[in-house]
Amino acid sequence: MRGRRLIGLGLSVAIGAAACGSGSEVPSGLQGFTYAERVAKPDFVLTDTGGNSFDFQEETKGRLTLLFFGYVNCPDVCPVQLGQLSQVFASHPDLGRAATVVFVGVDHARDTPEAVRAYLDKFDSRFIGLVGDATSLEAAQLAAAIPVAYREQLPEVDEENPQFYTYAHAGTVLAFAPDGYSYSTYPMGVRQSEWVNDLTILADIGA
C-alpha cells in the first residue's frame, strides 16, 4: 500500500510541477495528495458512451468532478478505484448526487462505448464513460498533465492471443471542485473514509 501511495505522491508532484497554479490556497483538512497551488481543469473533448461529443470543461462546469483514466480490462487499479467511489456514493448518497465521475477508457482498441458502459454500470450507472481514438486520448491525458498510458505486452501473449495485454496508466483520480480547480489527487489505496472527508470539503468550494 505504501508503495502505491509513494507512486501517487510522485505523480502528484509531477502534475503539480507541470500544471499552472493560479495562486489560490489549498484548503486544509484534505487527506489526498494536495498540490502546492490549485490546478485548472483540463480542456479536452472526447466521445461519451452514447456516441455524443463530450466537452469535459463545459459538461462538468460547476460540478464536483472526479476524472480517472483507466481501461475496462484493468485487473487491479481501475476496479479498486471505481469500486471505492461506488461504495462511498452508496453509503453517502449526498456525495453521489454532488459528484460527477468521468472515466476515460485509454485502451482505444477494446474500450468501445458499449464495453465502457457495461463496465461502469457494474459500479454506478451515473458514472460517465468517455472513449476516443489514440490521438484524442493522448491529447486528453496531456491536457490533464498525467503520464500518457501505453500498452504493455504480457509474457503470455502470442499470435493466437493478441488481446492478452495490459495498459500502464495513471491510477490516480483527479478531483476538481465546483470552482473548476483541482486541489488534490487520489492514488490507488485511498480509503473510503478519506474519500468522504475530502469530497465533503471539495464539494463546498465554489458551489
**For another protein, the closer CB: 132 or 189:** 189
Contact flag: residue 87 with another protein (CB under 8 A) = yes
* Residue (of 139, 133, 144, 196) closest to 173 by Cα position: 144
**For another protein, the closer CB: 63 or 110:** 110
Non-local (6+) Cβ contacts of 143 within 8 A are 42, 43, 44
DSSP, collapsed to helix, strand or coil, labels residue 71 as coil
* Residue (of 119, 83, 102, 97) closest to 192 by Cα position: 83
Q: Which position among 22, 24, 161, 193 is part of the footprint of another protein (CB under 8 A)?
A: 193
Contact flag: residue 113 with another protein (CB under 8 A) = no
Least distance in Å: CB of 189 to another protein?
5
Contact flag: residue 76 with another protein (CB under 8 A) = yes
- Beta-bridge partners for 48: 130
**Residues interacting with another protein, by CB under 8 A?**
1, 3-4, 75-76, 79-80, 83-84, 87, 91, 122, 188-193, 196
